[in-house]
Structure 1
């Protein structure tokens, strides 16, 4: 495997330094994902910008985190599953639903179930959503807007999941208690 630098604020390319500093101040630590993304400052900017845009969608914070956790689990991204487990906890997603997502199942909560199911379907179908899946999502009480906003979630997780797979991103110590083992392994 090709080695990628786990950058610090000091070692990062100049164009990434301010973004790393901001993340470190906001989160209290520097996520290793950002430390790896710093190798390509445009990637780090794209991820952080899209993440901020995604946070402003009409999906609730819990629905946003469920989509990100579902996508990351389907993609087998251990770093992002751990990170979004924490995000889902902060967004008050029921613990049982978080565990189901980590086990590659769908939540019990009907709305969260619809979000997870459709987000995973988008990934697995490579965007070629089947009419019955679209219909099921809309019948769960969502609008076309939210259906399309899940495309943002898939895009966001494509950036991070693929980076983690390519760069071999290690889990931060701060996330160790949320470590995930892919049940398919």
Structure 2
């Protein structure tokens, strides 16, 4: 019988982790009430944990021409295309909260083309999906189309980097057997 993936890459005990990682895990737990499984899974490789979250935070938390909700839209749409249950569920929860819309994450995960989003956001997701699934066909016409919706070159870089980064994340989550925490399923669906 094949060993389950979760057993292949064990979660280290929190008290055995390097101080900086343990501090981050406990801060996340304090803020959200639980430790998302992505933190626990990636703690298996501390140096990669640090690099992953440094890039994640740079992409997802900075000020830019994309709102934080739009960044989460990119994650949810591309993660659905990559069949990453963890990222669709976890980032779907964050999207619902950031967009203040309990329906949007499900709409985008199932079919962003029919979601209640703006034409600008649809163009953003069209491009993000191209980056995630067939970046080799990106052309100058894509930049013209995005510019026509008001995206700057920096915005286009951000769309590209988020789609590419989460392609990496999707693959790690799928191979490690990372499961979404139960807490994510209800977040942002009902008022507190």
TM-score for both structures, normalised by structure 2: 0.80
Rg bigger for which structure?
2
- Which residue does 2:166 correspond to in 1? 157
- Which residue does 1:92 correspond to in 2? 99
- Which residue does 2:43 correspond to in 1? 38
**Mapped contact 2:43–2:49 kept (Cα < 8 A):** yes
Greater CA drift, 54-63 or 151-160: 151-160
Q: Which runs of 5+ in 1 are unaligned?
A: 179-185
Deviation of residue 60 (structure 1)? 0.9
Is 1:103 the counterpart of 2:110 in the alignment? yes
Q: Which runs of 5+ in 2 are unaligned?
A: 188-192
Deviation of residue 94 (structure 1)? 4.5
- Which residue does 1:138 correspond to in 2? 147
TM-score for both structures, normalised by structure 1: 0.83
**Mapped contact 2:75–2:91 kept (Cα < 8 A):** yes
Larger helix proportion, structure 1 or 2? 2
**Mapped contact 1:57–1:149 kept (Cα < 8 A):** no
Q: Deviations over 1:55-89 (max 9, x none)?
A: 10411112111111112111111011011111111
Is 1:50 the counterpart of 2:59 in the alignment? no
* CA RMSD between the two structures: 2.3
- Would you say how many aligned residue pairs link Structure 1 and Structure 2? 178
Greater CA drift, 71-80 or 93-102: 93-102
